[in-house]
Amino acid sequence: MEKSGIAILVAGIALLAACSFGRKHTTIVENTNNHLIKIEYAGHIAFNNDETAISSISRDGYLEYQNDERKLNAKNDGHGGVSYELYEGYTKVNPDAGGKKFIAEAIKVIVQKAGHNLNMN
């Protein structure tokens, strides 16, 4: 019984590794004077015309942005939209309240560092 449990565990780990194997992504990191900016993305990401929000993310795509203690995670919501998670340190921020301003500020930096539309397939 113990050997079959180990075999299942090994098979599960192999499956997880295979799912992400070959998936291309880009990471941009700037760490100067104790100020960190990190941008990581995969798939195709398009911004709206005024570059204040993400208009679409491909089904396999994601965008992660960090500016010191502020973090934005965005992914395809499975229904053609974008879901956001925002954090100030360890505190989750509501994207509908003050989060919209943070999203717009983050996208301004992302466009400056990585370009107008991100495409990593």
Mean per-residue pLDDT pooled into runs of 10, the chain (121 residues): 54 49 79 94 92 92 95 93 93 84 93 78 55
Please report the pLDDT score of residue 62 as a whole number.
Answer: 95
- Bridge partners, residue 22, by sequence: none
Please report the pLDDT score of residue 80 as a whole number.
Answer: 85
CA–CA distance, 58 with 44 (Å, rounded to integer): 5
What is the reported pTM? 0.76
Please report the pLDDT score of residue 18 as a whole number.
Answer: 46
Please report the pLDDT score of residue 24 as a whole number.
Answer: 83
CA–CA distance, 38 with 30 (Å, rounded to integer): 6
**Cβ partners under 8 Å of residue 113, min gap 6:** 28, 30, 37, 39
CA–CA distance, 48 with 121 (Å, rounded to integer): 20
Please report the pLDDT score of residue 23 as a whole number.
Answer: 62
Q: Which stretches of 61-117 are assigned E, i.e. beta strand? A: 62-67, 70-76, 82-88, 91-93
Please report the pLDDT score of residue 39 as a whole number.
Answer: 95
